[in-house]
Amino acid sequence: MTDQPTSATLRRTPLYDEHLRLGGRMVPFAGWEMPVQYSGIIEEHNAVRNDAGMFDVSHMGRFQYYGREGVELLRRVCTYDIGLLAPGEGHYCAVCREDGGILDDVYVFSLPAEVEDPVGRRYLLVANASNAERIRDWIAGRKGGLNSRFQDRHESTAMIAVQGPAAMGVLTGLLGEEAVRSLKPRRCGLYFWQGEEVFASRTGYTGEDGMELVIAASMGPVLWRALLDAGVSPCGLGARDTLRLEAALLLYGNDIDESVNPFEAGLGWAVTLDGDAEFVGREALLRARDAEPKRVLACLRAEDRGVMRPGCAILRSGEVVGKVSSGGHSPTLGVSIGMGYVPPQMAEEGTELTVDVRGRPLAVRVVPRPFYRRPKPQVNA
Amino acid sequence: MDIPPGLRYTKEHEWVRAEGDLGTVGITDYAQDQLGDVVFLSLPEPGKQLEQMAVFGEIESVKAVSELYSPVSGEVVEANVALADKPELVNDSPYDEGWLIRVRLADAAELDGLLSGEQYREYLEQEAE
Q: Is A270 exposed, middle or buried (0-12, 13-18, 19+ CB in 10 A)?
A: middle
C-alpha A8/C-alpha B69 separation (Å) is: 33
Option in A40, A305, A336 nearest B36 (CB): A40
For A40, the closest of B37, B60, B65 (CB atoms) is: B37
Q: Is B46 part of the contact surface with chain A (CB cutoff 8 Å)?
A: no
Count Cβ neighbours within 10 Å for each residue of B7-37 and write b for 16 or more, e otherwise: bbbbebbbbbbbeeeebbbbbbbbbbeebbb
- Compute the distance between CA of residue A101 and CA of residue A68 in angstroms, rounded to an integer: 29
Nearest chain A residue to B88 by CA: give it.
Answer: A42
Q: What angle do CA A295, A300, A301 make, to 5 degrees?
A: 170
Is the bond into A344 cis (omega within 30 degrees of 0)? no
Cα separation, B95 vs B70, in Å, equals 15
Within 8 A by CB and 6+ apart from A196, the residues are A215, A216, A219
- A309·B84 Cβ contact <8 A: no
Sequence letter at residue B74: G
CA A296 to chain centre: 20
Q: Which residues contact A22 (CB under 8 A, 6 or more apart)?
A: A35, A38, A228, A234
Q: How far apart are CA A170 and CA A77, in angstroms?
A: 36
Alpha-carbon gap, residue B30 to B28, rounded angstroms: 5
pLDDT of residue A3: 44
A-facing residues of B in 70-129 (CB < 8 A) are: 84
The residue type of A100 is: G
Which chain B residues are Cβ-neighbours of A309 within 8 angstroms?
65
How far CA A109 is from CA of A234, A251, A329, B128, in Å, comes to 26, 20, 33, 45
Top residue of A34, A36, A42 to mutate, by most chain B CBs within 10 Å, is A42
Q: Per the CB < 8 Å rule, is A309 touching B65?
A: yes
Closest-CA residue of B relative to A334 is: B39
CA A41 to chain B, closest CA, distance in angstroms equals 7
Provide the chain B residues 4-33 that lie in CB contact (below 8 A) with chain A: none
- Residue A190: the pLDDT is 94
The pLDDT tens digits of the residues spanning A59-94 come to 999 999 999 999 999 999 999 999 999 999 999 999
Which chain A residues contact residue B37 at CB under 8 A?
A: 40-42, 331
Who's near A236: CB < 8 A, 6+ residues apart? A24, A25, A34, A35, A36, A37, A38, A41, A44, A55
What's residue B128's pLDDT?
A: 86
Sort out which chain A residues have CB atoms less than 8 A from B39's CB and list them: 307, 329
- C-alpha span between A243 and A185 (Å, rounded): 18
Is B57 strand, coil or helix? strand
Using the Cβ of B63 and the Cβ atoms of chain A, whether some distance falls under 8 Å is answered with yes
Asked whether the beta carbons of B87 and B38 are under 8 A apart, the reply is yes
User: Chain A residues within 8 A (CB-CB) of chain B?
Assistant: 36-37, 40-42, 238, 242, 305-307, 309, 328-329, 331, 336, 358, 360
Query: CB A360 to CB B65 under 8 A?
Result: no
With an 8 Å Cβ cutoff, are B39 and A329 in contact?
yes
H or E segment and range at residue A300 = strand A296-302
Whether A309 sits inside 8 A of B62 (CB atoms) is no
pLDDT tens column, B33-53: 999 999 999 999 999 999 999
Nearest to A238 among B40, B63, B84 (CB): B63
CA distance A281 to A270: 13
Interface contact B60-A329, CB threshold 8 A: yes
> Do A242 and B58 count as a contact with CB atoms less than 8 A apart?
no
Angle made by CA atoms A333, A336, A341, in degrees to the nearest 5: 120
Percent of chain A with pLDDT over 70: 96
In chain B, residues with a C-beta closer than 8 Å to the C-beta of A37 are 36, 63
Instruction: Please give the average pLDDT of every successive group of 10 residues along chain A, which has 381 residues.
Output: 58 98 96 97 98 98 95 97 96 98 98 76 96 97 95 97 98 94 95 95 98 98 98 98 98 97 96 95 97 95 96 97 98 97 97 96 97 80 47
- Minimum-distance CB partner of B62 among A305, A329, A358: A329
Question: What secondary structure does DSSP assign to A95-121, as a single string?
Answer: EE-TTS-EEEEEEEEE---SS--TT--
Q: What are φ and ψ of residue A250, in 5° steps?
A: -80, 150
pLDDT for the residue numbered A380: 56
Instruction: Decide if A37 and B36 are in contact by the 8 Å CB cutoff.
Output: yes
List chain B pLDDT tens, one digit each, 129 residues: 899 999 999 999 999 999 999 999 999 999 999 999 999 999 999 999 999 999 999 999 998 999 999 999 999 999 999 999 999 999 999 999 999 999 999 999 999 999 999 999 999 999 888
The H-or-E segment that residue B85 falls in is: helix B82-85
- Nearest chain B Cα distance for residue A97, angstroms: 32
Residues of A in contact with B40 (CB under 8 A): 305-307, 329, 336
